[in-house]
Structure 1
């Protein structure tokens, strides 16, 4: 089997104004280390150093990327490829530590990051940054697919990892904030395909492409829970 290891890179406090409720919510920041015959792929890199306004707004608590990698017996120097789901500061914060390592990103996302007001500029164009820019879907390694999953940002992408025995995994990043939200969208799609009469909830078109791979598990950037296929 090709292992996927979840890395704890800290947490932040999402204010009540962004949760849709009356209280703030503490959210984990998770990255994923994917081991393949081609090498080690890192999906997201943690929380970057923010501007004072960003720090006060989200109150992040960081776990350094080298420490998180060392906990699973890996060093920064061992990483062969980086895929960021998007370039907000809590997903690409460790990228400058990986100077010279190819970083896979959607053209739309990189353009937004360079336009300003999207993220922290120093986390995007750092010395020896090596972007591999995509315009849509791509198989970056055999059985490892980058799939566009726009919504949170226009250039958001997820990573589909095929595994022996057909038990593939989708690293969804922030395509959805939680496993339950993803599950509701997957059920809305199922209801529509089963011919249930409207009205029904909407779901993103990219779920149709994801379902061609029929992932067994879906994992998220800000939720310790996971979605698992029944049966």
Structure 2
């Protein structure tokens, strides 16, 4: 039964990823024909390489920064069993499914989200090209002293990167929360809320990450 669930989980991931790439392949073919017929091959390949390069780099970074920390948290809790009562398993089959596939979820969840993020960020290829081809205006704003080109070429790319970092934090928070909930890292005891020793470092890291992003948010504003 566990083997069937594992393969069902893998098949579902393949279908989701395949459906996302199918539209891209069709669009790539028609764009290639149009640009070739109008003799704009160099423009076409500049767009394609920017899209896929930017998207692939972002997706890979997203996967590394989400999958590896979650897998590490899961590995450190491998000695702890999943604590779900039989009644909860019967009434909430989704929790039962998550509990039985927790290890796979910590890999395929970040993988699917990384692919989706890479595809979305790839559509923002213009920001990367504007930044790489930016020129100084030679005139700065009177308040912060930044050259006006910063607000047109650099700041949009920084805001995009900031949004990706926030997304990474959300994924790490959700993944960590699922592990903590299913393995009872934090639970309600007779003297109040108790926390396992293994939970302190991940929570401290998430809190530090949140404060860094909050400082970055205020700085860019």
TM exceeding 0.5: no
- Greater strand percent: which structure? 1
Q: Max radius of gyration: which structure?
A: 2
Point out which structure has higher relative CO (alpha carbons under 8 A, 6+ apart).
2
| TM-score range relative to shorter protein | under 0.3
